[in-house]
Amino acid sequence: MMSHELPRGKSFWSFLLSVDRDLAERTRQNGCTCGGRLHSANYPRSPRGCPDELPESYRHRLSFCCNRDGCRKRATPPSVRFLGRKVYLSVIVVLVAAMRHGATARRVRELSALVGVDRRTIDRWQVFWREHFPQTCLWKVARGRLALFIEILTFPQSLMDAFFRTDSLEENWGNLLKFLSPISVNGAWLIEGSP
């Protein structure tokens, strides 16, 4: 089993931001379904459980709004930083739930203290990974490709094991978060009762 680590340093957070900007640019270029242009209309975020070096830009989730009167439809691109409306970063939601699996009670307490997540929240995240995530379109499509390596019962640890295949922690996280990014869009999967 791989070691559980949060990537350190600003470069990782900047890297995830650059991925989100690319995803957003693609959404913007597609425009609105009505033919209107998309203008920036970011959502404010106050991510919890974050490392000190998190850039200021993490206070927003990139999003757009149609510029046509009578439409004004929202278009929120997928994100490798934020899962749905959750106040925790995707990295934390994956990492904490993975650590819970097979971790000692003491380790869970340490982790909870570190990122400020209570036990009930972690329990909900585990329900998400074990029960909801396997029902997503993303997983149903991906499992044919990945199933040999992945055991649903140990989500998200098994997902990490499947994606953490290089020596670079940043690259591994980047690959996993890009894979997960489709579930970050509105309505794809919100985790109920999140604080």
| Residue located via tokens 């009762």 | 193
Would you mind telling me the total number of residues written for the chain in this entry? 195
Of the two residues 66 and 94, which places its CB atom closer to Zn ion in the complex? 66
Residues from 12 through 71 that contact Zn ion (CB under 5 A): 32, 34, 36, 66, 68, 71
Smallest distance, Zn ion to C-beta of residue 124, A: 35
What HEC string does 13-43 produce? HHHHHHHHHHHHHHHHHHCCCCCCCEEECCE
Smallest distance, Zn ion to C-beta of residue 24, A: 17
Smallest distance, Zn ion to C-beta of residue 194, A: 29
Of the two residues 75 and 93, which places its CB atom closer to Zn ion in the complex? 75
Q: What is the DSSP string of 66-123?
A: E-STTT--EE----SSB-TT-SBBHHHHHHHHHHHTT--HHHHHHHHHHHT--HHHHH
Q: Is 141 in the site for Zn ion (CB under 5 A)?
A: no
Q: Is 147 in the site for Zn ion (CB under 5 A)?
A: no
Q: Which residues bind Zn ion (CB under 5 A)?
A: 32, 34, 36, 66, 68, 71, 73
